[in-house]
Amino acid sequence: MPTEPRPARELPRDELWNVVGTIRHDLAARGEILPPAWVDETVDSIVQGAGSAWYTGDKARPSALAILWVREGHGYGHLHALAGSSAVPDITRLARRLTDALAPQVGRLDIGSTGLAQPDELVAGRLLGAEAGFSTLLRHSMTRPLSAEHPPPEPRWPSGVELTTVRQVPMEQLTALDWRTYRGTPDETLLSATPEGNREVLENALAGLFGTYLDEASPAARDPGGRLLGFAIGCQESLRSGVVLDIAVDPEVKRRGLGEALLLRCLRGLLALGYPRAHLWVTDGNVPARSLYEKLGFVEDTSASIFRWVRPPSGR
């Protein structure tokens, strides 16, 4: 039977550590990398009462956990189902608990999940989707083999483009372009809700918090006047896989072949470094990016849902 959510700081620290550790492990298994200190920091903030988290089930045997973060006025949540028959009711109940916990000025919440079998994840998405404010954002993991026998073709750069690496570009320029190009796409608030938050995500990427940053797989394109036109960031996901963390082209120069050239350069860099596979995540509704990845040989292998909640006009 599903139980009412209770504050997770009641849970024994070891139990909490196990569950949060499992979340990190499950995310890593599907290629979503978190900074090394994430587990300890998350557990500490829950235990010390600074972070918000709830569980269902028994204190000695929780059945699901929900964690909430609020950054820059935007809510981010994570749900984790432990083995159990009540996974879907627990998860939907906890998702509602997260929305109830939001301050009135927070209008939006993106919730990821782990521990649910894919059919259960879809059922949970459908059940939540019947409620005011909820929708589901489907994200796909895509991979592409890299081999010296069939290397990604040489990029064809649009005329006038000068090449450098992401590391050489001032952070202000990277952030400004990244922020601008995601406006109006389904991904616009997925990682951060403000330019400052966006900058932090990019700084963390270059610092290697989501996998070692690889200069050889992170090209940036400028015009002759030095204006940044686009870039791609390639990192090491594991010894057997490189990950394309980000690719962004200035809206003013989209559809001129730059995104394709940047991605090819990134893939050739990963191949040259010896990675036999490239991996990335893309949101279902991001048609330009999905088409680009499919064109360059990426194939979907798994999917994950983000449960998105937008505060209905009258509150809830």
Q: Please give the residue ranges that form the binding site for ligand COA (CB under 6 A).
A: 181-182, 185, 187, 247-249, 254-260, 282, 286-289, 291-292, 295
Q: How far is the CB of 253 from ligand COA (least distance, A)?
A: 7
Q: What residues contact residue 200 under an 8 Å CB cut-off, 6+ apart?
A: 192
Residue 124 or residue 258: which is nearer to ligand COA going by CB?
258
Between helix 171-182 and helix 195-206 the angle, nearest 10°, is 120
Residue 165 or residue 181: which is nearer to ligand COA going by CB?
181
Q: How far is the CB of 233 from ligand COA (least distance, A)?
A: 11
Q: What angle do CA 255, 176, 232 make, to 5 degrees?
A: 55
Residue 95 or residue 190: which is nearer to ligand COA going by CB?
190
CA distance 71 to 79: 18
Q: What residues contact residue 30 under an 8 Å CB cut-off, 6+ apart?
A: 141, 302, 304
Q: 90: how many CB neighbours lie within 10 A of its CB?
A: 29
Tokens coding 239: 């010894």
H/E element holding 45? helix 38-47
Q: How far is the CB of 158 from ligand COA (least distance, A)?
A: 8
Q: How far is the CB of 176 from ligand COA (least distance, A)?
A: 13
Residue 93 or residue 279: which is nearer to ligand COA going by CB?
279
Q: How far is the CB of 5 from ligand COA (least distance, A)?
A: 33
Question: What radius of gyration do the chain's Cα atoms show?
Answer: 20
Residue 30 or residue 256: which is nearer to ligand COA going by CB?
256
